Amino acid sequence: MKLSIVIVNYNVKYFIEQCLHSVFKALKDIDAEVFVVDNNSVDGSCTMIKEKFPQVKLIENKSNLGFSKANNQAIRESKGKYILLLNPDTVVQEDTFSKCISFMDEHPNAGALGVKMIDGKGNFLPESKRALPTPGVAFFKVFGLSFFFPKSKIFGRYHLGYLDKNQVHEVEILAGAFMFIRRIVIEKIGLLDESFFMYGEDIDVSYRIIKAGYKNYYFPETTIIHYKGESTKKSSVNYVIVFYNAMLIFAEKHFSKSNLKLITFIIRLAIYLRAVIAIARRFVKQVAFPLFDGVLIYFGFLFLKSWSETMKFGPGNSYPQLFLLAVVPAYIVIWIISLIFTGAYDKPVKISNILKGIGIGTLIILAIYALLPLELRFSRLLIILGSLWSVFSISVLRFLLHFLKVKGFQLGELQKKKVLIIGNENESVRVSQLLQQTQANPEIIGFISNEPSQLPEYLGQIRQLEDLIIIYKVEEIIFCARDIASQDIIGHMLNLSHIDVEYKIAPPESLSIIGSNSINTAGDLYLINLNTIGRPSGKREKRLFDLLSSLILLVLCPILFLFLKNRLKAFSNILKVMFGINTWVGYYFNESINPGELPKIKKGILSPIDGLGKKNIDESLKEKLNFLYAKDYKFTNDLNILIKGLLNIGR
């Protein structure tokens, strides 16, 4: 057997579907086997693989064993002369494997090779070729010198930016996303080091290959797409810690004691710096804007307070310090929480949500105000004026950001993307119908033929693609993978990489359309819209219901406990829901029903089954109830289920 391909999968069902389509197209006339090692995915990956790719040798793990252990499982069973370690979020060209095999056959000194990789917009991925992360190389990478001087032979060694990306080169480190290795080399150096859970194993294997007397090659005569970022969120603190700890394992394994202290210091410093940056970025993204709104409202109150004091008390008298130090901040907190729950911070920005949020917040403040003792009732007029100032100032800020064209602050409805579909008639129509059922529902400008002959309804041919993009101001291209070779798709992406347009690929007979916006973003995909519960408004509605209903049940505990059997567990569940650990209503699941493909929600105390009040329900109906619950979520559904299942909250 010539080739064994090993793919490790973890909850990227739609990406691995697209990957396998491209893999089997590229394996035509090659004696090969394909392994998929699944690390206990819950998104229905294994079911999809069994149904659509029965020829795959599927290994199903009962837990997430990590990248190295999973690869080793398949390598031990493989029989190919060459072994390819391939990421599931990739698309290969039809000639990728044949070209790699030919190169390796012609270069017996080659231990392994990597290929040219591009992201979802056709941009070259610099990690296609890398140098060994010695102390100097690591230092220049951690402190950004490699970023600012990418083509420098001194500062730019990490990604070897001074080497021509279109020429074959000997390199030190290959990317784990595509690592084509000679079997006899694996037999000589050993399997992947299982101390590396997710990162660093590619550096370790590459280095061991060189130490064994073989060479690693960067081979750009074939190109693959790598949708970086889907499996891991690289801005997260967890990613930073796991990645740099892998670097520490590598350093301790391969570097001398004199170098080890220095590189350990650099890596630990990198962990702290990157972790702080990741936390700060998350803070700015989630907290900074509501905080800024709060500051804006507070400064308005400073003026309103002075004006009110003059009108109410005359010169020389004022409200007590408590008003500005505690009462006004309390008002602001209530308004900001109301704005969050009414969707005022959702994209695109809607002024109506701001009005709704401030209005509801004002009613809550006035209701609380009426219950306060007289000495804490400072002024209803100030509350009303403060609410008017809040609406005015926050709305003006949004209008300003909108006219300055700040990304993410466009007013009104989110503009639909202008999309062109490339493929033959039947597949283009199927894809357009699929798009119309998605939440995005983009504006389909028209179809493009990939053949010389075309029907009247086609806008043009694929050779006219660049002109059509410019004329119709197209923002997204969707390729029908059934009709267009991966090689041609990648070729067009490379040729048009100078144009700001996004790309997606529609695999045949699939309900997904996959792409990626940039090197750092997670892969985007269009799916049929069944995620009402997964929308920001649905999540807020569900959380608000959980919070309010828990408070009510907490007050009613003395009465409820007369009817409940497991009182302690019920009390514990009320607190868990109140603090967001659980939700009152979640999906029903058992050994045969796994709702992994539905939008994720917290584990429920009750399930949609409790809403029926029946004990004997068919398994298929239970699965359907999960689907309907996610698709048509309303807080009234949760209320109905909670009322009917009230006596079961002590589960």
- Residue 265 is assigned to a structural domain of this protein: no
Cβ proximity of 24 and 16 under 8 Å: no
What's the 3-state SS for 151-171? CCCCCCCCCCCCCCCCCCEEE
pTM for the predicted model, two decimal places: 0.68
- Residue 461 is assigned to a structural domain of this protein: yes
| Final residue belonging to a domain, choices 474, 504, 527 | 527
Question: Domain holding 71: CATH number?
Answer: 3.90.550.10
What's the pLDDT at 517?
47
Cβ proximity of 577 and 544 under 8 Å: no
Residue whose pair of structure tokens reads 């190109």 in the numeric block: 223
Cβ proximity of 629 and 587 under 8 Å: yes
- For residue 631, count CB atoms less than 10 angstroms from its CB and return exposed for 0-12, middle for 13-18, buried for 19 or more: middle
Q: What is the DSSP string of 342-380?
A: TTTTSSSB-HHHHHHHHHHHHHHHHHHHHHS-GGG---H
- Residue 281 is assigned to a structural domain of this protein: no
Q: Are residues 523 and 536 in the same domain?
A: no
CA atoms within 13 A on the CB side of 574: 21
Question: Domain holding 423: CATH number?
Answer: 3.40.50.720
Please list the rounded mean pLDDT of every run of 10 residues in the chain (651 residues): 94 88 93 94 84 94 87 94 94 95 95 92 87 70 72 77 89 91 93 74 86 94 81 50 64 63 69 71 78 92 85 71 90 92 82 91 91 84 92 91 77 73 87 74 81 69 86 88 88 84 84 57 49 69 87 86 84 90 86 65 86 66 73 78 87 84
| Final residue belonging to a domain, choices 461, 492, 527 | 527
Q: Which amino acid is at 38?
A: D
Rounded distance, CA 512 to CA 526, Å?
Answer: 6
Rounded distance, CA 161 to CA 125, Å?
Answer: 11
Cβ proximity of 637 and 554 under 8 Å: no
Among residues 81, 89, 80, 147, the alpha carbon closest in space to that of 119 is found at: 89
Q: Which domain holds residue 555?
A: 532-648
State both tokens at 644.
């009917």
Q: Are residues 620 and 516 in the same domain?
A: no
Q: Are residues 463 and 515 in the same domain?
A: yes
- Residue 305 is assigned to a structural domain of this protein: no
Q: Are residues 83 and 200 in the same domain?
A: yes
Phi, psi of 258 (to 5 degrees): -65, -40
DSSP 130: B
Residue 575 parent element (H or E): helix 567-578
- Residue 589 is assigned to a structural domain of this protein: yes
- For residue 372, count CB atoms less than 10 angstroms from its CB and return exposed for 0-12, middle for 13-18, buried for 19 or more: exposed
Q: Are residues 198 and 50 in the same domain?
A: yes
Among residues 132, 133, 135, 131, the alpha carbon closest in space to that of 259 is found at: 135
Split into its structural domains, the chain has a count of 3
| Final residue belonging to a domain, choices 185, 208, 230 | 230
Rounded distance, CA 615 to CA 618, Å?
Answer: 10
For residue 151, is it left (φ>0), alpha (ψ between -120 and 50) or beta?
alpha
Q: Are residues 564 and 516 in the same domain?
A: no
What's the pLDDT at 520?
36
- Residue 353 is assigned to a structural domain of this protein: no
- Residue 171 is assigned to a structural domain of this protein: yes
Q: Are residues 171 and 96 in the same domain?
A: yes
Q: Are residues 59 and 181 in the same domain?
A: yes
Q: Are residues 503 and 595 in the same domain?
A: no
Q: Are residues 470 and 616 in the same domain?
A: no
Q: Are residues 542 and 507 in the same domain?
A: no
Q: What is the DSSP string of 489-522?
A: HHHHHHHTTTS--EEEEE-TT-SEEEEESSSSSP
Residue 551's alpha-carbon distances to 146, 330, 545, 616, in angstroms, are 54, 20, 10, 32
Q: Are residues 520 and 536 in the same domain?
A: no
Among residues 74, 115, 122, 75, the alpha carbon closest in space to that of 92 is found at: 115
- Residue 332 is assigned to a structural domain of this protein: no
Rounded distance, CA 382 to CA 257, Å?
Answer: 69
